[in-house]
Chain A
Amino acid sequence: MRRWFRNAWGKPRFLILFTLAYFAWSIVPILVAVRFSFNEGRSRSTAQGWSTRWYWDDPDLSVRNDPDLIGALVQSLTLAAIAVAVTVPLGVALAVGLTRWRGRLATASRFGSMVPLVTPEIVMGVALLLVFVHVFEFIPLGTEAQAIGHVTFSIAFVLIIVRGRLLSIGPEYEEAARDLGASPLQSLRLALFPMLVPAVVASAIIVFAISMDDFVVSNYLSAGAATDTVPVKIYSQGRTAPTPALNALASLTLGVTVVIALVLFVVWRLVRRRRGVEEPTAEAFAA
């Protein structure tokens, strides 16, 4: 047994076991939570048969029939859709502008736009809450404020992904287009943007995922139960929920997130193949 572990040139057995253990530890709790969402009984900590009661059948308490629960899922998806629709164009334009624009002001803006990435969420949540309460009073708490918050913390992610792509493309293609007589805008539209499509799709995946994941900003900017997102619901009911309906809501949200992310991922693969470019996926997520 010892020799099996110590074999210096063979496979690193300890690392294999460790990695497998990690994956088990990381996935099993989620599977258990999903399992309990199919409980027939009310327990959220022991297995009690199988049913879709908490998803569909229960007349009052199931996700389908409890407006509080289904509303949270709708709110989460609404915010994620708005975040993707606003952040991606805003972030791509910012990335292109900041990358190609030279000068001291550009360097400062580049640095400044990355600060949200490293700001703890609670700082952003509190700051946005106070600004909407004391200064931008015309923007009500709730969906509007939450959407603005989601866009604000997502921009930096788009910036990283698109900037990485821009730096690896280099300015040559646009310069070639310009030398062939294209206007600056034409060189952007015809030469650069087609090459950015994979990065744009990757940004959309990331923004969607982090918007669905967000808790702190949605929590601080929520205007009450009607604008609570799924994570906020989990936070407020996690300890007290009387039935596995909360598990069902969380599992359903997970399913929807995975399906949408997979669809976007397939799109990304397709455009990437058509454009024939390599993209550092892991780094995009690592950000």
Chain B
Amino acid sequence: MSEPGRRGRRRRGALLWPGLALPGIVWLCLFFLVPFYVVLGVAFGTVDPLFLTPQPEWNPLRWDPQAFEFVWAGLQSGGGFRTVFLRTLAYVVIAVALSLLIAYPVAYYVARFGGRFRGLLLAGLVAPFLISYLMRMLAWINLLQDDGWVNAVLVWAHVLDAPRTWLDGRASSVILGLVYGYVPFMILPLYAFLDRVDRSLLEAARDLGASRFHAFRLVTWPLSKPAVLAGCVIIALPMFGDYYTPDLLSGSPNTSLLGNQIDLYIRGGQQVPVGAALVVCLMLLLAVFMAYYLYATSRAERRLGR
């Protein structure tokens, strides 16, 4: 084919690809980018003194940092936001650590030793994805009632002398809920990674005299560190914005998290800008983790795409 014809073909192709992507990009701009700007506008805006409705400010030159000053004041020692922030951090760190302790051995076992049961085991790992998070919390509400089965079992086994109230401001219940809710989201990526680890490396280590534990410590674990980090990030991100788990499994201000504060201010009516400012702060806080996760997935993808 002649040169000009080829070029013409390429130009048409060059328009085809952006054209295909265009509807999706427009959609995301309208319903993802624009909403973010609205959050900024509301956070830097004012509240109508009469109706107490938020008045967004679209012009960045006239942005009013009042809501952020309010948040900042709350973060000083003795402030309400400080307690909530530190509590959120503690809950998330504990829940992520526990999730890792559970997720790694399970993912490791299914990936390495699943054998002929692998299909069944995988179905078990995927099953929680079909059960809504809220239903899984509901299951624990049933179990943790005063006359529920958890108390029954613990009293029967003489761990407790008398039934305990689990659903009223107990950090342990909320953390249990977080771990139970999010651990499947960590197991699957870990499994996907561990499944790809080259077995001949492990066999070589064992042949050279490493015990199973040493082979794990010196080969598998170092290889899987990026996957572990990605797994931790992917469950930590939603945990930071969670408000329904503490609401359902505790409902007490003693376990209120960052998400609860956002929910409170956004729906509470009078101080919506404070809620929006908290959302902006949350995004800034999490931006590093989000960027890391995106970077890690795009690197993995590049490997796939040669």
A residues contacting B by CB (< 8 A) are 8-9, 11-12, 15-16, 18-19, 22-23, 25-27, 29-30, 32-33, 36, 43-46, 90-91, 93-94, 96-98, 100-101, 105-106, 109-124, 126-131, 134-135, 148-149, 151-152, 155, 159-160, 163-164, 167-168, 170, 178, 183-185, 188, 209, 212-213, 215-216, 220, 230-231, 234-235, 238-239, 246-247, 250, 253-254, 257-258, 261, 280-283, 285-287
B139–A231 touching, CB < 8 Å: no
A-contacting 9-mer, from B73-81, B197-205, B294-302? B294-302
Q: Please give the distance in Å from A170's CB to the nearest CB on chain B.
A: 8
Can you identify 25 A-B contacts, CB atoms within 8 angstroms?
A12-B212, A23-B124, A26-B127, A46-B148, A97-B24, A101-B14, A111-B294, A113-B25, A116-B28, A118-B233, A122-B282, A130-B35, A152-B28, A155-B27, A167-B301, A184-B13, A184-B16, A213-B129, A215-B133, A230-B132, A234-B138, A247-B138, A254-B132, A282-B125, A286-B191
**With A164-B301, A215-B133, A234-B137 given, is the CB distance from A101 to B32 under 8 Å?**
no
Q: Which residues of B contact A287 (CB under 8 A)?
A: 297
As a 0/1 sequence over residues 227 to 254 of chain B, the CB contacts with chain A under 8 angstroms (1 = contact) are 0000001100110111110011001000
- CB A144 to nearest CB in B, in angstroms, measures 12
Set B17, B27, B34, B289: member contacting A131, Cβ < 8 A: B34
Give Cα distance in the complex from A30 to B211, angstroms: 39
The contact string, 1 if C-beta is below 8 Å from chain A, for chain B 202-226, is 0000000001100000000000000
User: Is chain B's interface secondary structure helix, strand, loop, or mixed overall?
Assistant: helix
Whether A254 contacts B130 by the Cβ 8 Å rule is yes
- How many interface residues does B have (CB within 8 Å)? 105
Instruction: Decide: A184 near B129, CB < 8 A? Known: A33-B139, A97-B17, A101-B21.
Output: no
Least CB distance, B88 to chain A, in whole angstroms: 12
Are the CB atoms of B121 and A167 closer together than 8 Å?
no
Interchain CB contact under 8 A, A19 and B135: no
Say which residue of A25, A101, A231 sits within 8 Å of B132 (CB atoms).
A231
